Every structure is written in structure tokens, then in C-alpha cells.
Amino acid sequence: LGVVRGVMGIPSGVPVAAMVGDSHAALFGHAAFAPGLVKATYGTGSSLMTATPNLVHSARGLSTSVAFGHEKAVYALEGNIYTTGAAVEWLADLLGLGSPAALEAMAASESRGVYFVPALVGLGAPHWRDDARGTISGLARGSTRAELARAGLEAVGYQIRDVFDCMAQEAGTPLTALLADGGATRNGSLMQFQADILGVPVLVSQVAEVSALGAAYLAGLTVGLWPSREAVAALDRPQVRFEPRISSERRAALYAGWQQALGRTLWSKAPEAEEGQ
């Protein structure tokens, strides 16, 4: 692709061996080459991606993409969620806590039927409803701020499952693990809930910049530092593993509650602006 010239901190003449977007780079950084592996990047919003054996035209609100093009094109299904980490920040501000870390610290161990659907700017994949608006449901007289805080964290996990389930129906192969990166993955309670609600292991990368690692892997393959993707996949990547701990019945009940709350949100629309506004 050429060589570097005139870039501060990089010697002139260094070859440019790869170009890749951040989500695709994270997929490569996790070495999620094999079908059945899903990567999830947790940020302000979240991006899920899984490599597919063939080109898949989604009928369930996912995007079809080229995952990477080393040697030959490998395709992927992708789902982008508008509001995950941003929802936790918003809820922390609403509760007067000042930071997501404070919300995480005060969150109860369970939400006791409280659900927060953070459609603060609409809903992204797989619903694609820009007119949807957020809801908090399931409140009772005994509900607490700690349970609402917990509902905010769980909303991240539920939205990931919405996309994960669509991928499971369209990927053409069973999905066996979620490979996670991003700031929210430092919250062990959230990652345990994610494994619980998905019913598959969640492997949290201990590499701070998985996208940068993926770009380095691609460049290294191009210049022959590694002979194949299999050699890259065999490299050591430190991870923390979270296994599902709840029963399938409990998982189904929790997700059914989320789907009811989501239905209320999808029914709710943003008010139309008054004339002249």
C-alpha cells in the first residue's frame, strides 16, 4: 500500500501493509476467524461481528460486511447498537452519582423485575427504530436506586443478546462464545450477567487495544511475520473467562421480561416537533 513519509514518530520508509476499520480490526485482534465466534466491543455504543462461511444477506436487521480480505475475502454479519456505555453514563447522571463507576458500585445484585430500555437516541440493530424512546418499567413501591442501577447495567447485556440471537439464526453455524473488549468489560458483574443471559462463555480480552492488535496482526501477515491466520490464532492472548451460571429456565424468564419491556419501547414513539420548531 506504500510507505510512511513525514509522519512524526514513525521512520520514513516503513511499509503500510494493512488498512482496516476499528470493528473489523477488533474481530481480527480476537483471532475470531472460525465460524461460531462472535466479537463484541463495548463502548459508547456496541458493535458485534461474526465471520460467516458465505455471504449472508440478513433479513433480521444485521449488516453484511467483508470481515477481512487477507488472501481471499471472508464475510461477516455485524450489528451496531446505539447506546450501551452512554446509557450507563446517562443513568449515573440521572441518579446524581457522577460517574459510571459509582453506578456500578451501588448496583444491586439483581434488578427484581426493573427493566431499562435505553432508546435515548432510538434503537439500533436489530430493530432500527430511530423514533423509539427509552422506558423504565417494572417499578414497584419497594424498588430502589440500586435496582435501577442494576437495570442499567443489565440493559447492556440484553441489547447484546438481541443482536447475538439474530446472528445465531443467520450465521449458518452454532455460536459458541462471545469475545469481548472495551471499557465496560472491566466490570466483572456485567460480564457474568452477559454470560448468564447468552448461555455461552464470554472471553474478555486483557489487551487494552484489541483493534490496534488486529491491525498489527493483519500487517504482520502481509509482510510474512506469520505464515497464516492459523499461526495468528495460535498466539497467546490473555483472557478472563466467564461461564454461564444460571439455569435455562431463569435465563428464559429474564429475557422474556426484557422482551416485554422492549415491546413497550417499540410501541412508544418520539413526539413530533411542533410546527416552526
* 27 in a structural domain: yes
* 198 in a structural domain: yes
* 218 in a structural domain: no
- Domain containing residue 59: CATH number: 3.30.420.40
Q: What is the residue-wise DSSP string for the chain?
A: --B--S-TTS-TT-B------HHHHHHHHTT--STTEEEEEESSSEEEEEEESS----SSSPEEEEEE-SSS-EEEEEEEES-SHHHHHHHHHHTT--SHHHHHHH--S--TT-EEE--BTBB-TTT-BTTB--EEE---TT--HHHHHHHHHHHHHHHHHHHHHHHHHHSSS---EEEEEEGGGG-HHHHHHHHHHHTS-EEEE--S-HHHHHHHHHHHHHHTSSS-HHHHHTS---EEEE---S-HHHHHHHHHHHHHHHHHHHH-BPPPPPTT-
What's the Cα-to-Cα distance from 225 to each of 74, 218, 221, rounded to whole Å?
Answer: 21, 10, 6
> Model's pTM, two decimal places?
0.91
Provide the number of structural domains found in the chain: 1
Find the domain containing 160 and state its range: 22-211+237-267
Instruction: Tell me the C-alpha distance between 50 and 265, whole Å.
Output: 27
* 220 in a structural domain: no
Each residue's pLDDT tens digit in the chain (277 positions)? 788 887 878 888 888 878 888 889 999 999 998 889 999 999 999 999 999 988 889 999 999 988 887 677 889 999 999 999 999 999 999 999 999 999 999 999 999 999 999 999 999 999 999 999 999 999 999 999 999 999 999 999 999 999 999 999 999 889 999 999 999 999 999 999 999 999 999 999 999 899 999 999 998 988 889 999 899 999 999 999 999 999 999 999 999 999 999 999 988 666 664 444 4
Q: How many CB atoms lie within 10 A of CB 181?
A: 25
* 80 in a structural domain: yes
